Amino acid sequence: MDDAAILGGLDGEPEAFAVLYRRHVGGLLEYFLDRTHGTQQSADLTAETFAAALQRADRFDPTRETARAWLYGIADRLLDRAVAGGVVEQRARRRLGLAPLRSGDRFVAELEEELVAAARFRAARRARRIALPRVPVRALIAGAAAAVLAAIAALALSGGGGGDQERASERRSVLPPAATQVVLVPTHPLARCVQPTTESLTNGAPIEGITLLRRAQAEADTIPFSPTRLPIGSFDPAATRRPAQGQLGSTVHVVPSSHVATDGDCGVHERPGACIVLDRRRFACFSSEE
């Protein structure tokens, strides 16, 4: 199997990730060692690169680049962040539950065992994932960890607090059927990214479907932290909103952007969409299609 076939077939053959790993682990270790001159840092960067590749395997597009170029693109981004921040990220390894490993004679074999186990778990989890019905949704909505998605949808579409009988009737009309089952997307800890470029989303709302932008921004809608904490490449401070202010148990901010990294990593897989920020601490990002 070539690398592209391995990445595309991990749901059915998770053990094949070991083949891709063996092909590239030596090259990546040398690549990082030449640039960091530290064996443990090189080992950590190699482990995080493969963990991130496994986690994002379904996002690999063989029509755009080779698997090797994609893998080394992940490596370059992780190296840049390690140089800038002085520490190697562990986000992908933590999400996959990989054990911390020390560099040494057993490192390559132990990392392979961890990655294959994680690939099997990933395949089993994806097989259990519920297939959601395709229901037309008029607004870009998302739930936060303990929120009921249907209630969030109704409140976000309402555009804020209050509401007369006509608005209440409209909110009820967009709720999904009672039997609908929804898998909530996990939220991520706020990151430290670069300063996004300034854009304007309020004039004409170029991101289609965000109903919240139709109402004027209130003072409480402004996010209480720097946009560099979110994985967005562009930012309009006038476009942030708090849906259904006062009606949710959590403080949820909606931050739209033309350049959203839906996988939570700074500057990766950017597209139009929005981030849902929960309680100043955690977020989840969605493309406009999602």
Using an 8 Å Cβ cutoff, are 128 and 272 in contact?
Answer: no
Q: What is the pLDDT of residues 220-268, one digit of tens each?
A: 888 888 888 888 888 998 888 887 655 555 678 889 988 888 777 776 6
Alpha-carbon torsion (238, 250, 268, 130), positive or negative: negative
High-pLDDT (> 90) share of the chain, %: 33
pLDDT of 180 reads: 55
CA distances from 260 to 198, 205, 212, 275, 287 (A): 14, 16, 18, 7, 7
The contacts of residue 202 (CB under 8 Å, 6+ apart) are: 213, 217, 236, 238, 239
Please give the distance of CA 177 from its chain centroid, rounded to a whole number.
Answer: 27
What is the CB neighbour count within 10 angstroms for residue 151? 16
Using 50, 70 and 90 to split pLDDT, how confident is the model at 129? Answer: low
* Measured distance between the N- and C-terminal CA atoms of the chain, rounded to whole angstroms: 32
Using 50, 70 and 90 to split pLDDT, how confident is the model at 133? Answer: very low
Tell me the pTM. Answer: 0.51
Q: How far apart are CA 144 and CA 129, in angstroms?
A: 18
The contacts of residue 139 (CB under 8 Å, 6+ apart) are: 153, 156, 157, 209, 210, 211, 212
The contacts of residue 134 (CB under 8 Å, 6+ apart) are: none
More confident residue, 85 or 204: 85
Lowest mean pLDDT among 26-40, 164-178, 184-198: 164-178
Q: What is the pLDDT of residues 64-119, one digit of tens each?
A: 899 999 999 999 999 999 988 888 998 889 888 888 899 999 999 999 999 999 99
Which tokens in the block code for residue 142? 């998302």
pLDDT at 7 over 60: yes
Q: What is the crossing angle of helices 107-128 and 39-55, to 10°? A: 20
Q: How far apart are CA 15 and CA 19, in angstroms?
A: 8
Alpha-carbon torsion (93, 94, 99, 101), positive or negative: positive
Using 50, 70 and 90 to split pLDDT, how confident is the model at 147? Answer: very low
Q: How far apart are CA 238 and CA 216, in angstroms?
A: 9
High-pLDDT (> 70) share of the chain, %: 73
Please count the residues of the chain.
Answer: 290
CA distances from 204 to 61, 121, 185, 200, 208 (A): 32, 44, 29, 9, 9
Q: How far apart are CA 88 and CA 82, in angstroms?
A: 5
